[in-house]
Structure 1
Amino acid sequence: MLDAHQLNVFVTAAKTLNFTAAARQLHMTQPSVSQHIQALETHFDMPLFIRSGRHLTLTAAGEMLLPMAQELVQLSHNIEESMESLKGEIFGHLFVGCSTTVGKYVLPFLLAEFMRRHPKVEASCYVTSRHQAMKMLCEGNVHVALASAR
């Protein structure tokens, strides 16, 4: 049976094309990443990466697996968030877009207070032009956009 954690390791390794970098991102050791990848390759009975020294490339099987693995990993995160929300806790990842002025003078204080109240939420902030922040909101790339008045 597939393991969501193994798939997350695979997705991270496929994005970085480097087991050491994947290990750093996942707060794991490089041998542990290699073991997870080998377990998946054993499960599917085919290689997912072509290993050439320290250089990695995805095999055709790896290329085929990647989008499905990304979808399953995202679904796994969504399940975790949904179950945590039943406990009345806010959990997940907040994406914020904001204009330069707001990003410099207002957002740090708002975000610090929000993070203090909701420690299980991770946040990513995109400081950009007012127009770009609103565009990101309209396209669904951020959950909220903040900008100063003209």
Structure 2
Amino acid sequence: MSDERSDVNLRVGRIARTDVVSVSTDTTVGEAAQTMADENVGDVIVMEDDELAGIVTDRDLAMHLLTDDHGTNVLGGGSGADLTVNDVMTADPLTIESQARVPRLLHHMNQAEIRRVPVVDDGDVVGVITFDDLVVHLAGESAHVAAQLESLADVVHAGSPQRS
């Protein structure tokens, strides 16, 4: 059995989602929200001239449209109808290369206090990695390790002297 942790050497590209959902900067927030709902995702990548311009998350939409912080509170009588993703996106978001290792990603996500990161190779968006993806992966790793330990425990018990 190796004492090397699999999550330490795991590359981001191995667990990133490659089905990237993108919109253009002039997409309305309503269209972006509908796209997120249709695609069952919590973010859209914003592209301009085939370049990454930003990212919009479901939280970005909620904060802009449902709070007073931005003057567009639709519950308070504001109108978000003319807002585009360009108005609400995180421009120039943190990105990570697909060959980067998971601990580096976790460090950057923690420092930036973000949950979603576009994955890039040679400047092209090739995926998105989310905190949820990492949790699911690490939970699976934990289950695998637990199964291995249980198997080893059976070996230990089988080889141990029996008490009467």
More contact order relative to length (CA 8 Å, sep ≥ 6): 2
TM-score relative to the length of structure 2: 0.26
TM-score relative to the length of structure 1: 0.28
Flag the structure with higher helix content.
1
Larger radius of gyration: 2
